[in-house]
Amino acid sequence: MPQINMIIAGRDEEYVKNLANWFMEHRTHQFRISVFTEKESFENFCRNENETPDIILADEAFLCADLETNNNIIILGESRSEKYIKLKHIEKYQPAPGIASSILTIMSEYGKVSGWNKPGKSEIIVCLSPDQALKTTFALYLAYACKDAVYLNFESFPFYRLLPEKSFANKNLSDILYNIKSSKGNTGIALDSAVYTDYTGLNIIPPIDNPNDIWELTENEMDALINSLKSWGHFKTVIADIELNAGPYTAKWLDAASTVFVPISPFLMHQKQRVNNMINSLSGTESEKVKWIQTMPFDSESFEEPDRICYIPELKALPEDWKPYVRNSPVLDRIRAIVSRDN
C-alpha cells in the first residue's frame, strides 16, 4: 500500500509538530506528513497544490469554504460549529497511537479507493495443535522471534489474555471481519487501524470479542480475509494462531501458509498421528511446510522426515501472566534459529 499523504494543520505549534514527529518516527512507511501552523499558508497550499492530500487533519479554525466540501477532512478535536457536523472528528488529546488508529479507521470507511488498494506482500505462518496453551505460547514466541511480525489469534476462546493494557485503540479482529462482511474495501487500512504494539514490543491485533464472528464467515469471506492478510504488506510476517479442527477453513489456512508449526507436549503425543493424518488429508497441504515442535523425542516417528521435527526441551506453556517471561526467555534464541534455518 502506498504512503498516505496527510496534512496536519493547527495553531498549537508545539502540539502539531510533536504529533507530526511521532508519525514521521513511528509510521514512516505509512504516512507522508505535511505540517501547517499558519492558516494563510495552509489555504495557499490547498489552493495551489495539484496533488490532493488523502487526509487533512486540522483544527476547526483552519477550515475554509474551499475545503468544507471535501470528504477527506478530519477535525482535530470536537466540532463547535453546526456547519461541520457531517465531518468526522477525533479526540485531540489522546496518545498518538490512538490518533493514528482513529485516522485509519475513518479511512477504512471511505469505500474503495484505487490508490490505497495497491497490494503488498506478507507471509503467513500458521500455528495449530491439540495443545492450546503450548501452541499459543509458541506462536507468541514466534511473533517476537520473527523480524517485522504481527500476531493474530483466530480462536473462539483464546487460552491467554491478549487484550491491550490500554483501550485507546479499541479495535480488534471483529472489526476486521465486519469490514470484510460489509464489503467496504480498504481492508489493509482496517488492519492497520487495529494493530496494537504493547510495552514488550509485540505487534498484535486483539482477538474477536464474539466467537460467532469467525464461524459466521462464508467461504468467500474467509478467502477475502486470508487474501487481505497475504497482500497486506505492512508486516513481513503474519503469525496466525488458529483452532485445530478438520473443517474447510483449516484447509484454507494450511494452503495459504508458508510454514505450519505444530507444537505438541509429551502429554499429548498420542494425538500426533491423528493430527498428522488430518493435515495430510486436507488438499493442497505440502508436507514439507509442516514442522513439529517437540520438547522430547517420540518413539514412533516414522511418518515424518527427521528435518520436520524441531526439539526445544525448554519450551513450556507460559503462565497466565505471560508478558514478563517472554522477552528474555532462552526459548527465543532457539526459535530464532529455527526461523532463520527455514528462510
Mean pLDDT by 10 residues, the chain (343 residues): 84 92 86 90 80 85 68 78 78 85 79 55 95 96 93 94 66 91 81 86 92 91 94 92 92 93 92 89 73 77 65 90 84 88 68
Hunting for cell 529455527 — which residue is that?
338
Instruction: Return the residue matching grid coordinates 517476537.
Output: 144
The pLDDT of residue 14 is: 93
- For cell 477535525, name the residue: 75
Assigned C-alpha cell, 335 = 526459535
Calculate the CA dihedral of residues 203, 175, 183, 105 and round it to 10 degrees.
-70
Residue where the block lists cell 484447509: 251
pLDDT (0 to 100) of residue 223: 95
What is the radius of gyration, based on Cα positions, of the chain?
23
Q: For position 201, what pLDDT does the model report? A: 86
Q: Say how far apart CA 321 and CA 310 lie, in whole Å.
A: 26
pLDDT of amino acid 86: 77
Q: What is the pLDDT of residue 174?
A: 93
pLDDT at 229: 95
- Which amino acid is present at 231? S
CATH number for region 4-93: 3.40.50.10850
Pick the closest to residue 279 from 308, 311, 317 (CA basis).
308
Whole-number pLDDT of residue 76: 84
* Closest by CA position to 103, among listed 150, 41, 58, 148: 58
- Domain limits, CATH 3.40.50.300, in the chain: 123-342
Residue 329: what pLDDT?
86
Reference 266, options 329, 312, 308; nearest CA is 312
- CA torsion angle for 37, 42, 43, 48 (degrees, to 10)? 160
* SS (HEC) of the chain: CCCEEEEEECCCHHHHHHHHHHHHHHCCCCEEEEEECCHHHHHHHHHHCCCCCCEEEECHHHCCCCCCCCCCEEEECCCCCHHHCCCEEECCCCCHHHHHHHHHHHHHCCCCCHHHCCCCCCEEEEECCCCHHHHHHHHHHHHHHCCCEEEEECCCCCCCCCCCCCCCCCCCHHHHHHHHHCCCCCHHHHHHHHCEECCCCCEEECCCCCCHHHHCCCHHHHHHHHHHHHCCCCCCEEEEECCCCCCHHHHHHHHHCCEEEEEECHHHHHHHHHHHHHHHHCCCCCHHHEEEEECCCCCCCCCCCHHHEEECCCCCCCCCCCHHHHCCCCHHHHHHHHHHHHC
Every domain of the chain with CATH number 3.40.50.10850 lies at 4-93
> So what's the architecture of 123-342 in CATH?
3-Layer(aba) Sandwich (3.40)
Measured over the CA atoms of residue 73, residue 74, residue 76 and residue 78, the dihedral's sign is positive
Q: What are the backbone angles phi and psi of residue 256, rounded to the nearest 5°?
A: -80, -20
* pLDDT at residue number 106: 83
Q: What is the pLDDT of residue 328?
A: 80
Residue 168: per-residue pLDDT: 52
Axis crossing angle, helix 219-230 with helix 187-194, rounded to the nearest 10:
70
Contact 151, 239 (CB under 8 A): yes
